[in-house]
């Protein structure tokens, strides 16, 4: 049974995870190699919990208990003591993950589960650093994990089916939407889909088809509206009218070939495109600061979740 949580790496994702675990009544210790980041991450987690109460997304009567679940600690030894489940959220590179995994196992009970937040690395490669790889897997959240329901569970070659089953049941029990991959691929599912959209959003900007604001607006006031409700397959099932998905493939779906033929196939983003895209967000940051945009996003996400829960 998963009851005591250790967060290792308290940046953007680790601190949001800490918010989520502590809001579920689970004692959550936090550790970062940088003590200042650990302190700030715990502060973010507590701020997030208070915001959830303000947004009527978390009961005020449970706030004090949730805040007391957030426990920053100074050493790896302390974060791992008696813990059942580690949510590793350190930098996205194989070398850092391997170093962390080797140190984790020096302090951790052999039964404790190690879950990585990795956005797109391969678990089989990461778990080679472990003596007990069977208790490890990827549990990839979507930012911010304390609000977005998705968690992608990706077993590596050495992950045991029991580990996957226990972690899946745990997330289901606490209201997340776990999806389990049958095989590992770089970027899992959601980030591969996001990568395809992002490349095209950059290509449209590079080609001066529209402004950065209009490209983003086309996405979020069009397909994005439906994506919160249903995925691409069901959307196009409905898009085919009475003939359903078959009708879509045989009808409008045929014209997609001409779009694909015209679309970018970059596997690296050109430097000029990177510079143009970053400059293009300047006007958005005049409208609101980055922190104000994040707060705006979280408020709207909470309302959306409330609608979807209905």
Ligand X SMILES: NC(=O)c1ccc[n+]([C@@H]2O[C@H](COP(=O)([O-])OP(=O)(O)OC[C@H]3O[C@@H](n4cnc5c(N)ncnc54)[C@H](O)[C@@H]3O)[C@@H](O)[C@H]2O)c1
Q: Which residues bind ligand X (CB under 6 A)?
A: 8-14, 32-34, 37, 89-92, 96, 99-100, 117-119, 140-141, 143
Residue 265 CB, nearest approach to ligand X (Å): 24
Considering beta carbons, is residue 12 or 63 the nearer one to ligand X?
12
User: For 254, phi and psi rounded to 5 degrees?
Assistant: -65, -35
Minimum CB distance to ligand X, residue 98 (Å): 10
Contact by Cβ (8 Å): 76, 90: no
Looking at the Cβ atoms of 35 and 253, the one nearer to ligand X is 35
Closer residue to ligand X (CB): 37 or 129: 37
Which CB, 90 or 123, lies closer to ligand X? 90
Q: Decide if 108 contacts 31 (C-beta within 8 A).
A: no
Compute the distance between CA of residue 254 and CA of residue 248 in angstroms, rounded to an integer: 8
By beta-carbon proximity to ligand X, the closer residue of 40 and 199 is 40
Q: Is the CB of 36 or the CB of 208 nearer to ligand X?
A: 36
- Rounded least distance, CB 118 to ligand X, Å: 4
Report which residue's Cβ sits closest to ligand X: 11
Beta carbon of residue 106, minimum distance to ligand X (angstroms, whole number): 13
- Minimum distance, C-beta of residue 53 to ligand X, in the bound complex (Å): 24
Question: How is residue 84 written in tokens?
Answer: 């059942």
Measured distance CA(14)–CA(192) in Å, rounded? 22
CB of 127 to ligand X, least distance (A): 14
Q: Give the nearer residue to ligand X in terms of CB position, either 37 or 212.
A: 37
Q: How far is the CB of 196 from ligand X (least distance, A)?
A: 17
- What's the closest the beta carbon of residue 246 comes to ligand X, in angstroms? 36
Considering Cα of 104, then 132, then 149, then 169, what sign does the dihedral take? negative
Pick 51 or 96: Cβ nearer ligand X:
96
């Amino acid at each position: 049974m998963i009851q005591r949580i250790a967060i290792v790496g308290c940046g953007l994702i680790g601190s949001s995870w800490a918010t989520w675990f502590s809001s579920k009544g689970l004692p959550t210790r936090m550790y970062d190699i940088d003590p200042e980041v650990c302190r700030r991450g715990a502060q973010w987690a507590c701020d997030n919990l208070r915001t959830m109460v303000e947004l009527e997304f978390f009961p005020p009567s449970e706030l004090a208990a949730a805040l007391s679940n957030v426990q920053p600690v100074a050493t790896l030894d302390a974060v791992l003591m008696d813990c059942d489940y580690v949510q590793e959220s350190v930098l996205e590179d194989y070398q850092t993950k391997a170093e962390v995994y080797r140190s984790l196992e020096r302090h951790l009970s052999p039964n404790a589960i190690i879950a990585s937040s990795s956005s797109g690395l391969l678990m089989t490669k990461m778990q080679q650093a472990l003596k007990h790889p069977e208790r490890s897997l990827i549990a990839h959240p979507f930012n911010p994990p304390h609000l977005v329901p998705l968690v992608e569970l990706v077993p590596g070659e050495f992950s045991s089916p029991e580990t996957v089953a226990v972690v899946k049941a745990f997330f289901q029990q606490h209201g997340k939407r776990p999806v389990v991959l049958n095989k590992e691929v770089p970027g899992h599912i959601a980030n591969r889909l996001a990568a395809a959209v992002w490349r095209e959003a950059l290509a449209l900007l590079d080609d001066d088809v529209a402004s950065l604001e209009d490209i983003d607006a086309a996405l979020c006031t069009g397909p994005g509206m439906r994506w919160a409700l249903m995925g691409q397959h069901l959307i196009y099932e409905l898009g085919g009218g009475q003939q359903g998905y078959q009708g879509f493939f045989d009808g409008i779906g045929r014209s997609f070939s001409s779009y694909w033929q015209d679309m970018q196939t970059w596997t690296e983003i050109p430097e000029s495109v990177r510079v143009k895209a970053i400059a293009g967000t300047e006007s958005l940051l005049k409208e609101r600061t980055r922190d104000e945009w994040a707060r705006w996003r979280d408020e709207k996400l909470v309302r959306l979740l409330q609608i979807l829960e209905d």
